Protein backbone atom coordinates (compact mmCIF):
# COMPACT_ATOMS: atom_id res chain seq x y z
CA UNK A 1 0.00 0.00 0.00
CA UNK A 2 1.49 3.41 -0.91
CA UNK A 3 2.13 5.87 1.89
CA UNK A 4 2.78 9.58 2.32
CA UNK A 5 3.66 11.96 5.14
CA UNK A 6 1.31 14.61 6.48
CA UNK A 7 2.34 17.38 8.85
CA UNK A 8 -0.37 18.13 11.41
CA UNK A 9 -0.70 21.04 13.77
CA UNK A 10 -0.25 19.92 17.38
CA UNK A 11 -3.94 20.36 18.38
CA UNK A 12 -5.10 18.20 15.44
CA UNK A 13 -2.47 15.57 16.22
CA UNK A 14 -3.71 15.39 19.81
CA UNK A 15 -7.33 15.03 18.66
CA UNK A 16 -6.37 12.32 16.18
CA UNK A 17 -4.42 10.35 18.77
CA UNK A 18 -7.17 10.67 21.39
CA UNK A 19 -9.77 9.51 18.88
CA UNK A 20 -7.62 6.53 17.89
CA UNK A 21 -7.17 5.52 21.55
CA UNK A 22 -10.87 5.95 22.33
CA UNK A 23 -11.95 3.88 19.32
CA UNK A 24 -9.15 1.33 19.55
CA UNK A 25 -8.17 2.03 15.92
CA UNK A 26 -4.93 2.96 14.24
CA UNK A 27 -4.08 6.53 13.26
CA UNK A 28 -3.87 5.34 9.65
CA UNK A 29 -7.38 3.89 9.66
CA UNK A 30 -8.92 7.10 10.99
CA UNK A 31 -6.90 9.21 8.54
CA UNK A 32 -7.90 7.01 5.58
CA UNK A 33 -11.60 7.29 6.45
CA UNK A 34 -11.33 11.06 6.86
CA UNK A 35 -9.54 11.41 3.52
CA UNK A 36 -12.10 9.18 1.82
CA UNK A 37 -14.97 11.32 3.13
CA UNK A 38 -13.22 14.47 1.93
CA UNK A 39 -12.63 13.06 -1.54
CA UNK A 40 -16.11 11.54 -1.91
CA UNK A 41 -17.79 14.77 -0.82
CA UNK A 42 -15.62 16.91 -3.09
CA UNK A 43 -18.69 18.38 -4.78
CA UNK A 44 -20.19 21.81 -4.38
CA UNK A 45 -21.33 22.65 -0.86
CA UNK A 46 -25.08 23.33 -0.61
CA UNK A 47 -24.51 26.31 1.70
CA UNK A 48 -22.24 27.90 -0.92
CA UNK A 49 -24.72 27.22 -3.72
CA UNK A 50 -27.66 28.61 -1.72
CA UNK A 51 -25.80 31.69 -0.41
CA UNK A 52 -26.95 33.94 -3.25
CA UNK A 53 -30.59 33.19 -2.32
CA UNK A 54 -30.17 34.01 1.39
CA UNK A 55 -32.68 36.58 2.60
CA UNK A 56 -34.85 36.15 -0.46
CA UNK A 57 -37.81 34.67 1.38
CA UNK A 58 -40.02 36.20 4.06
CA UNK A 59 -41.34 34.63 7.20
CA UNK A 60 -39.94 33.27 10.43
CA UNK A 61 -36.62 31.51 10.19
CA UNK A 62 -37.97 28.87 12.58
CA UNK A 63 -41.47 27.68 11.65
CA UNK A 64 -42.05 26.35 15.15
CA UNK A 65 -42.50 29.99 16.26
CA UNK A 66 -45.68 30.25 14.20
CA UNK A 67 -48.90 30.72 16.19
CA UNK A 68 -50.84 27.46 16.49
CA UNK A 69 -47.96 25.30 15.30
CA UNK A 70 -48.43 21.66 16.21
CA UNK A 71 -52.14 21.80 16.94
Q: What is the pLDDT of residues 10-60, one digit of tens each?
A: 999 999 999 999 999 999 999 999 988 888 766 677 878 888 887 777 776
**Spatial separation of the C-alpha atoms in residues 68 and 11, rounded to whole Å:** 47
**CA neighbor of 5 nearest in space, from 28, 21, 26, 22:** 28
Q: Residue ranges of the domains in the chain? A: 10-65
pTM: 0.53
Amino acid 71: pLDDT = 60
**Spatial separation of the C-alpha atoms in residues 28 and 47, rounded to whole Å:** 30
Q: What is each CA distance from 63 to 51, 60, 67, in whole angstroms?
A: 20, 6, 9
Per-residue pLDDT reduced to its tens digit, 46-68:
878 888 887 777 776 676 666 66
Amino acid sequence: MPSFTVKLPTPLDKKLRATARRRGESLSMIARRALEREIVTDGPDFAVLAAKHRGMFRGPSDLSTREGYGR
